Amino acid sequence: MRLFIRVIIQRTLLGLLLCATSGNLSAQQASGSKPFMAPSPYGGRQESPRNQPASQAQVYLEQQYSQKQQNPVQLGAPLHQTNPVQTAGWKQDITQSLPPLYSQNRAQTRRGQSSHLRQVGAMQTDYPSAFEAFSDDLNYPELERMPDPEGNYTESIDELCGESCWGWTVLPTDLLYTSYLAGPKEPRMALAVLNEKDIGWQMELEAGARVGLLRYGSMNDEVLEGWQLDVEGAGPPRLNIEEELDLDAADFRVGVPLTWRQGAYQAKFAYYHTSAHVGDEYLKRHPGFQRINYVRDVFVLGGGYFVDPDLRLYAEIGYAFNTDGGAEPWELQFGAEFSPAEHNGIYGAPFWAINGYLREEVDWGGNVNFMIGWQWRGDRNNHLFRIGFQYLDGKTMQYSFFQNSERMVGFGTWYDF
């Protein structure tokens, strides 16, 4: 009995399910053979296979989009079949958005040549031919090939600022009057190992520099002419290699040179102060040594002449208005040096220099300093690095012992600004 009731209930539920499914299919067939889509105001009447009248939704949409030109995209139509959008700014002259073109002979244009510009439409794709026609209208055939900007800039600087274009330069990179290569008291960076017949091996160092502060002269970097104010300073100590690099002495120098150069001629008016100091280690080794306070404040007037760009002759005279420690006013310096002015890159070039330095305080005695070796000149400035042989004979380079005579020979390296 229970089994019979269970079968009746199952068959009743199955029958109800089949009736419901059949009702849903009938409703879909009655509503149409296509799924629901948004009505199209233009596609409803044209594409309806049965030519049915438009629905209220389609009529409404037609009224909303009746102005076809205000809506370039048709509802229900592919985008690639719509008309292109036309805007007022699209056909503007393309030349208004381009930067101005300049020519080397633009001065002739100011004297009356036509400057008519041909308009190029936005839809025109033949841009090379349009540019050629534009250059033909301007009668500028050189616009067909734009010139090299770097070459024109260099040529214009050489032409306009060869020798007559002067101006102010703050912190110039080069000197108009370089230091004497063999001058024993010129400011530079140096390290030389020299042997003296009586005191043995010595290390002559120098920590100094000379740089430009202000120049009024040629604006062309290749032409070194004008007036320039420099500043210099150096501290050349002597270390005794025989005594475990003890400091024997050190002279200090600071100065302000005002220099001038024009062509092959140059001049210098300078002030410098120098003072001499004895090392503590030297005083311990020589307890009976009498220390002196050697001081000189000097005005210097000098000049140089370039026989050719690589060879310079020079001379200068100095007068010390303030002296102490045995120093006397007058001094005289002169010499010659060969230093190639060309930038030879990593290969470098040979050099030689000779300098004579005479002083009143030693009865117009002094010393002769000779150098020969190899040099490298900076690619972007005239800084000079040298290595070579040095020979000095005469009065010492250390003013704490200014009355002593020395003969020193050895090898050194020098960096000149």
pLDDT in tens, 219-234: 887 889 999 999 999 9
pTM for this predicted structure: 0.62
Question: Is there a domain that residue 356 lies in?
Answer: yes
Radius of gyration of the chain, Cα coordinates, nearest whole angstrom: 47
In a domain, 315, yes or no: yes
Is residue 227 situated within a structural domain? yes
For residue 269, give the H/E element and its range: strand 265-278
Say if 318 falls within a structural domain.
yes
For residues 29 and 48, give the distance between their C-alpha atoms in angstroms, rounded to a whole number: 18
Judge whether 345 and 377 are in contact, CB under 8 Å. Answer: no
Cα 94 from chain centroid (whole Å): 36
CATH classification at residue 231: 2.40.230.10
Residue 233 pairs in a beta bridge with 209, 254
| Domain assignment present for 142 | no
The residue type of 199 is I
- Give the pLDDT confidence of 189-227 residue by residue, as tens digits: 999 999 998 889 999 999 999 999 999 999 887 889 999
Q: Can you give the pLDDT at residue 54? A: 63
Name every residue whose Cβ is closer than 8 Å to that of residue 70 and which is 6 or more positions away in sequence: none
CA 55, 58, 62, 68 torsion-angle sign: negative
Q: Give the separation between CA 202 and CA 279, rounded to whole angstroms.
A: 14
Single-letter residue type at 376: W
Q: What is the dihedral of CA 285, 288, 289, 290, to 10 degrees?
A: 150
How far CA 177 is from CA of 259, 357, 412, in Å, comes to 6, 18, 23
Task: List, for the chain, all residue ranges whose pLDDT scores fall below the cut of 50.
Answer: 25, 27-50, 68-69, 71-77, 79-82, 84-92, 94-95, 97-128, 130-131, 134-135, 140-144, 151-154
Q: Is residue 111 part of a domain?
A: no
Domain hosting 291: range is 166-416
Which is nearest to 115 in space by CA: 132, 145, 135, 143? Answer: 135
The reply to whether 117 falls in a domain is no
Give a yes or no: residue 15 inside a domain. Answer: no
Residue 204 tokens read as: 């002559």
- Tokens standing for residue 125: 């794709």
pLDDT of residue 148: 53
Which pLDDT score, from 0 to 100, does residue 41 have?
A: 44
- Transcribe 73-129 into DSSP letters: SPTTS-GGGSPPP--TTTTS-GGGSSPPP--TTHHHHHTT---------TT---HHH
Write out the two tokens for 252.
Answer: 């200090």
Beta strand ranges found along 151-198 (DSSP E):
166-170, 189-196
pLDDT tens digits, residue range 366-408? Answer: 999 999 999 999 988 889 999 999 999 999 999 999 999 999 9
Q: Coil, helix or strand for 48?
A: coil
Amino acid at 346: I
Give the per-residue pLDDT at 7: 60
Query: What is the pLDDT at residue 12?
Result: 64
**Count: domains in the chain:** 1
